[in-house]
Structure 1
Amino acid sequence: MPEFELGESIPPDTAHAVSVSLPTWSANVGYEEGEDWVVNRMTTGYPRFFIHRSIEAFASELAAKYAAKNSRAMLFPTRQIAARCVSFIKARAPPAVASKLAIIHLVLDASNPSARALEPLCPAISAVLLSHESFPYAKQYWQHSGDGVSSRRAEFCHGLFRDGLLRLDDSPTSPSVAAQKPCRGPRRYQRPSSLDGGISIFNGNKSHGEEAHESSRFLEERFGRNLDMSFVAPAKSAIKRRIAGALRSDQELGASPLPKMESNTRGVVNLREDDVYLFPCGMNAIFNAHRALLGCRGSMKSIDYGFPYVDTLKILEKFGPGCLFYGHASEADLDDLEARLEGSERFLALFCEFPGNPLLTCPNLVRIRHLADKFNFAVVVDETIGTFANINVLPFADIVVSSLTKIFSGDCNVMGGSAILNPNSHYYAALKAFAQKEFEDTYWAEDVIFMERNSRDFVSRIDRINANAEAICNVLQAHPAIKTLYYPKIVESRPNYEVCKLPGGGYGGLLSISFHNRVQAVAFYDAIDTAKGPSLGTNFTLTSPYVLLAHYQELDWVATLGVDPDLVRISVGLEETDHIVKVFQSALRAAEEKLVAN
């Protein structure tokens, strides 16, 4: 295994990496405490929690030019999204703070011949200009919604801005802007090649016209082949069809449209490609699923069923009238919900994960679907952990969401999310009408191309990861240092998993473990010879003290839900099985030795 330095990107030397190395238990605590010895060494971080350096650089330049002194800027892909952020801040910040907000919108300068060639990319960007006091509220919106700008979009648009190809949109529909100040820095912008395979879009030896032609035609170079802009639409189509289970993952793309979808593995014969929607990250898919249901059904509370990923619960609590939370995903929880429903309580939707993260509990989707049909609420299932190569949850759901950032991509260098509308849902027509009116395709073209290429071998990777995870499960299950092992194959809710498991599917690549005491957990984590940082579903094994990272400010609360604050989560990768088994055996010995020494 390569050794990752504290704060180094995972994968290393990758400009748009999704994870960051936190190689010791104390480094994770130091990160949560904001200690300089950790924070100052971080080159990147998980994108919704750590604003990428490329985004920060562009935001700082816009704030310096367009905002008052000592102000900040937060970047979004569209004016409408920026306006939602402003509304969020105004609803929560003190009036004196919320009044100091403005939105600017930058668009291509159509009068510049070099810019016209870039129109197919639609490289617009919006910025909320705000004070330092209002920034924490904007950061909440960024984290919860996933609406923030992509680092690749920010990098590309920053180049255009410095090269004079983006201008301020001061049309009558554009919000008012603070007084402009002179632009600082050189006009020319020469961007070095991205370290993860992109070519330099701006080259100081070329004329504006030549640069614009390259920017329009060639997004990046990888595997010795150029992809031009005509491949972006087919790439989106291929991603959607893979998600629908209607395209071989290793199928090469051509520039012509793909043939009509004839069948899929989702068990819904009338599913169409345009029932799959792509988003810049998985949380944004959840956020927009919730927003769509509110738009279709009105302001009603939702249900968060099962111990949730942190921001799913925050979305349901903060965007709308709130939610009813069931933290155990138990039959007793469903009994309580059914009693409420029989007593005339009504809800917008039930949100759940299948399986849950990090306890790998699987909700009873058969019973949930029955209650939803009887009492008229929607069901939204997050299949990120199970993956649609192992399970099929669409027949039980009105909307299925997933984070493509995880195992669908695997390379840990691009974000993405998806939502599938079940065409047989009672709410399908209303959701399609809402999407036709409100859906904004903000998935940046460069990210699309990376995601399409990364996902071509998705199915074959899942098979290998399933096998590795089962082998590691066997090692952990037999070891006396392990107090509890969480894995869909062995948890109490396994029968619920089996209902949705595909004939050739496995049990996924995520396991979690708790030890008898913290000393063992720390020793195991510090000794494990894998990459260590946030995220999951990577092609390499990635270990994390997940609860510590995700719930550091609420560890007592998670303990009341049966979640060990010292839990260690393991996302299994593609390593040789014998090798990765030895890695875990070695770390377990370190945990044993530490216990004896104490």
Structure 2
Amino acid sequence: MPLIDLGDSIPPNTAHAVSVSLPTWKSNVGYEEGEKWVVDTMITGYPRFFIHKSIQAFCADIVAKYGHPGQQAMLFPTRRTAERCLDFIREKAPKPAQADLSVLHLVLDSSKKTPDSLHLVSPTISAVLFLGDAYPFAKQYWQHSGDGVSSRRAEFCHGLFRDDILVPERRSPSSPHLAQQKLRRGPKRYQRGSSIDGINGSDGNQDTSSLDPAKSESADSFESLRFLEERFGRNLDMSLVNNAKSAIRRRIAGVLTTDLDLSSKSLPTMESNARGLTNFREDDIYLVPCGMNAIFTTHQALLKTREPRKSINFGFPYVDTLKILQKFGPGAIFYGHGSSADLDDLESRLKNGERYLALFCEFPGNPLLTCPDLERIRKLADAYDFVVVVDETIGTFVNVNVLPFADVVVSSLTKIFSGDCNVMGGSIVLNSSGKFYQTIKSAMGDVFEDNYWAEDVIFMERNSRDFKSRIDRVNANAEIICEVLNAHPLVNKVYYPKYNDTRPNYEACRLPSGGYGGLLSCTLKTKAQAIAFYDALETAKGPSLGTNFTLTSPYVILAHYQELDWAASFGVDPNLLRISVGLEDDLRTVFGKALKAAEACESSG
């Protein structure tokens, strides 16, 4: 991939990109320290950390029309998700920051005639309104929960709002009926020369959300329900969204590995013995707006299944998993090494009468790619009555089958399942043979809301059609990069399931045709060498993972900048580089060149 300028989207010219370019070590540090030379260049960012500009624009218009002076807004898809944010602010924020809090729920104006297809997607928005002192707490909820609106939902609903079609729920309708829209070949934003996600190809930095509302094409919002995907060479009616969701769920189940005609009136019957289980049904798979929301929703459901108890975070986690367990509910105990000794300590606690709600772990972990002993964890869970939740995002169900050891398996579909880095998504899979299945299933009925926005579903279904073949390719490419790194004297250590001490735990779950995944990390002898290597590396460089192109980051700087010593205490080097491996053909050469740059630098430590 060509060098991408600082602050540009990854992929370039992509309106709903999931990553942003931070091409030098210094720019990563500058981002974490909020330096203007970095932050002011950013046209986007990872969606749970950087609120998309289309969402910001919608927030500003809501506050201008319905808010009070000094208020800000945070947008959620439903009243229920917004109320959770409100409750979080009231629980965590100091009293002065709780002043002037409210929720504004926007719905379709029932007095106006709108196409039937509009109602298929339930274009609602709930805005949490607050004063500036409450913003950090609202942002925490947004980041940790994954409940916030997607940028596509915000963009679409903003058009309805500007046309006074999306209105406060209790508002008395007063506007005249809209004339029916005359359908044409597609909305203007899909007719003009554009990139794959709708940004004008002549100016990749154009912020369409800042256009004059009077000149906007919001009337085309209706038509974009039917004309979404001209980049794929055909239109796709949004009435097919349910079939698209079904196709995604069947891919997750492992029973759909070929292309599928979504226009079919009925999909092929899903076999019930998928993923090594019996009685496995499609409705045991839940789709949510992002991977972290899968963890958050699962935790919320588990808190309803029994007396609330602390959970266990086993192994060094992705940052927000631990935050969810600590900030929502009774808290958590943390085993950051995820070792046999940690399991010994947990078993001792259990034998002494301590009881827990659930154990959350990743398989493999991020960024050290170590694997917990799921067989032993399952035995402890059965003996001492706690739920096992496994995040398989990095392992993927093509390489490993962790479901027989878990009660719930969660995953971020944003990553390699999509691959295109232009849409978010997550999944929750219940083990239909698990001892807690019925109680979790019942709790999910109370907790789960289908908030996955229709346009995001369409992108995810299309992106995931070649998921399995892409996994096979990145498995092979990852091993090539490991070979290059392991052979070089400046590389201190390579972290990869195939080479870690916990490989036997991985092998216990690896499928016969499975590889070792597309994520690896490494450390070099000195910080100066790590910086030189990163700066010279000719890959995309930014947050996220699981992209079809290789994506590199100084992960610990981005994820744990305010707690580097804490991370180091669990063996996570502050100068570690994480490499998400893509589909390219020349990666051996690319990494060889970067290592040459490391050789040439001054080893200043």
Amino acid at match of 1:409: S
Residues 426-575 of structure 1 mapped to structure 2, 5 A cutoff: 426-575=435-584
TM norm structure 1: 0.93
For residues 147-176 of structure 1, the C-alpha deviation after alignment (integer angstroms, 9 at most, x for no partner) is 01000000000001101211110189xxxx
Q: Number of residue pairs matched? A: 577
Range that drifts further, 62-71 or 348-357: 62-71
Partner of residue 384, structure 2: 375
Q: Paired residue for 1:327, among 312, 336, 351? A: 336
How far apart, CA to CA, are the structure 2 residues paired with 1:55 and 1:212?
Answer: 16
Maintained 8 Å contact 1:71/1:131: yes
Does residue 594 (structure 1) correspond to residue 601 (structure 2)? The answer is: yes
Provide structure 2 residue ranges, at least 5 long, that are not aligned to the other structure. 173-186, 201-207
Residues 336 and 195 from structure 1, CA distance in 2 versus in 1: closer, same or farther, beyond 3 angstroms?
same
Partner of residue 175, structure 2: none
Partner of residue 184, structure 1: none
Does residue 581 (structure 1) correspond to residue 588 (structure 2)? The answer is: yes
Partner of residue 103, structure 2: 103
Partner of residue 245, structure 1: 254
Partner of residue 178, structure 1: none
How far apart, CA to CA, are the structure 2 residues paired with 1:354 and 1:327?
Answer: 14
| Backbone CA RMSD of aligned residues | 2.1
Partner of residue 170, structure 2: 170
Residues 597 and 94 from structure 1, CA distance in 2 versus in 1: closer, same or farther, beyond 3 angstroms?
closer
Alpha-carbon shift at residue 264 of structure 1 (Å):
5.2
Amino acid at match of 1:291: Q
Amino acid at match of 1:497: Y
Residues 122-133 of structure 1 mapped to structure 2, 5 A cutoff: 122-133=122-133
Maintained 8 Å contact 2:278/2:432: no
Range that drifts further, 22-31 or 113-122: 113-122
Maintained 8 Å contact 1:117/1:212: no
Partner of residue 94, structure 1: 94
Partner of residue 145, structure 2: 145
Residues 187-198 of structure 1 mapped to structure 2, 5 A cutoff: 192-193=189-190, 195-197=195-197
Residues 64 and 191 from structure 1, CA distance in 2 versus in 1: closer, same or farther, beyond 3 angstroms?
farther
Maintained 8 Å contact 1:464/1:574: yes
Maintained 8 Å contact 1:307/1:357: yes
Partner SS for 1:500: coil
Amino acid at match of 2:581: V
Residues 463 and 317 from structure 1, CA distance in 2 versus in 1: closer, same or farther, beyond 3 angstroms?
same
How far apart, CA to CA, are the structure 2 residues paired with 1:250 and 1:539?
Answer: 19
Does residue 67 (structure 1) correspond to residue 74 (structure 2)? The answer is: no
Amino acid at match of 1:361: T
Does residue 58 (structure 1) correspond to residue 58 (structure 2)? The answer is: yes
Percent identity (aligned) = 65
Alpha-carbon shift at residue 221 of structure 1 (Å):
2.4
Amino acid at match of 1:329: G
Partner SS for 2:276: coil
Amino acid at match of 2:236: L
How far apart, CA to CA, are the structure 1 residues paired with 2:359 and 2:352?
Answer: 17
Partner of residue 27, structure 2: 27
Maintained 8 Å contact 1:304/1:326: yes
How far apart, CA to CA, are the structure 1 residues paired with 2:157 and 2:90?
Answer: 28
How far apart, CA to CA, are the structure 1 residues paired with 2:156 and 2:222?
Answer: 14
How far apart, CA to CA, are the structure 1 residues paired with 2:119 and 2:604?
Answer: 65
Partner of residue 184, structure 2: none
How far apart, CA to CA, are the structure 2 residues paired with 1:238 and 1:589?
Answer: 45
Residues 103 and 475 from structure 1, CA distance in 2 versus in 1: closer, same or farther, beyond 3 angstroms?
same
Partner of residue 2, structure 1: 2
Q: Paired residue for 1:290, among 299, 319, 325? A: 299
How far apart, CA to CA, are the structure 1 residues paired with 2:284 and 2:274?
Answer: 15
Maintained 8 Å contact 2:147/2:293: yes
Amino acid at match of 1:559: A
For residues 206-259 of structure 1, the C-alpha deviation after alignment (integer angstroms, 9 at most, x for no partner) is 996xx5762443334232100001210000000000001111143343332212
Range that drifts further, 396-405 or 213-222: 213-222
Does residue 14 (structure 1) correspond to residue 41 (structure 2)? The answer is: no
For residues 44-89 of structure 1, the C-alpha deviation after alignment (integer angstroms, 9 at most, x for no partner) is 0000000000000001110111111121000000000000000000
How far apart, CA to CA, are the structure 2 residues paired with 1:65 and 1:285?
Answer: 33
Alpha-carbon shift at residue 432 of structure 1 (Å):
1.4
Maintained 8 Å contact 1:109/1:166: yes
Partner of residue 81, structure 2: 81
How far apart, CA to CA, are the structure 1 residues paired with 2:199 and 2:34?
Answer: 35
Residues 191 and 152 from structure 1, CA distance in 2 versus in 1: closer, same or farther, beyond 3 angstroms?
farther
Partner SS for 2:51: coil
Maintained 8 Å contact 2:16/2:197: no
Maintained 8 Å contact 1:191/1:203: no
Maintained 8 Å contact 1:231/1:255: no
Amino acid at match of 2:530: A
Partner SS for 1:14: coil
Residues 83 and 226 from structure 1, CA distance in 2 versus in 1: closer, same or farther, beyond 3 angstroms?
same
Alpha-carbon shift at residue 195 of structure 1 (Å):
3.9
Residues 555 and 437 from structure 1, CA distance in 2 versus in 1: closer, same or farther, beyond 3 angstroms?
same
Does residue 236 (structure 1) correspond to residue 260 (structure 2)? The answer is: no
Maintained 8 Å contact 1:246/1:263: no
How far apart, CA to CA, are the structure 1 residues paired with 2:569 and 2:480?
Answer: 31
Provide structure 1 residue ranges, at least 5 long, that are not aligned to the other structure. 173-189
Residues 467 and 252 from structure 1, CA distance in 2 versus in 1: closer, same or farther, beyond 3 angstroms?
farther
How far apart, CA to CA, are the structure 1 residues paired with 2:105 and 2:258?
Answer: 38
Partner SS for 1:581: helix
